[in-house]
Amino acid sequence: MIEFDNNIPVYIQILNFLKEKIVKRDLKEGDKMPSVRELAKELKVNPNTVQRAYKDLESSNIIFTKRGMGSFVTEDKLKINDLREDLAKEIILEFSTRMKNMGFNKEEMIEVINSFVEGD
C-alpha cells in the first residue's frame, strides 16, 4: 500500500512505486505486472490513474504490453540496471541538495542516517 503525498500527482507516485518494485526485483525481467484494474482496486484509485502510470512505464520501455494478455516487465536486464542507477541518483540528488541547503555537510548526512535509519 502507498501512503499518498497530496502534493505530488498520484500517477507519479504509482510510477515511482512500480519502478522501485522492479529495481528491488519484486518484479523481475519478464514478470507479469499486476493488471491495471487489480492494482487500481488495491490502491483505491481510479483505473485511469494506474493506466497513466503504466503508459509512462511503457513509453520508457520499462514494461511492454501484449494485447489482451497484460503488461510485462522488460526482458532487458541492462534497462533494469539503468533504471536502478537513475532512480538511486535521483533520490540521492534530491536528498543531498536539500540537506546541503540546510547546511549539512557529507559527514553530517551520514551521521544522521546512522542515527535515524533502522536496520543493519
What residues make contact with DNA under the rule CB under 7 A?
7, 9-12, 33-38, 45-49, 51-52, 54-55, 58, 65-71
Query: How many secondary structure helices (H) and strands (E) does the chain include?
Result: 5, 2
Report d(CA 108, CA 87) in Å as an integer: 23
- Pick what 47 binds: DNA, a copy of itself, none; C-beta below 5 to 8 Å, kind-dependent: DNA
**Residue of the chain from 28, 46, 77, 86 that contacts a copy of itself (CB under 8 A):** 46
Provide the minimum distance between the beta carbon of 8 and DNA in the complex, in angstroms, as a whole number: 7
Instruction: Give yes or no for residue 72 binding a copy of itself (CB under 8 A).
Output: no
In one-letter notation, the amino acid at residue 70 is: G
Cα-Cα end-to-end distance for the chain: 24
Instruction: Tell me the number of residues near a copy of itself by CB under 8 A.
Output: 46
81 makes contact with a copy of itself (CB under 8 A): no
CA distances, 12 to each of 34, 93, 99 (Å): 17, 18, 23
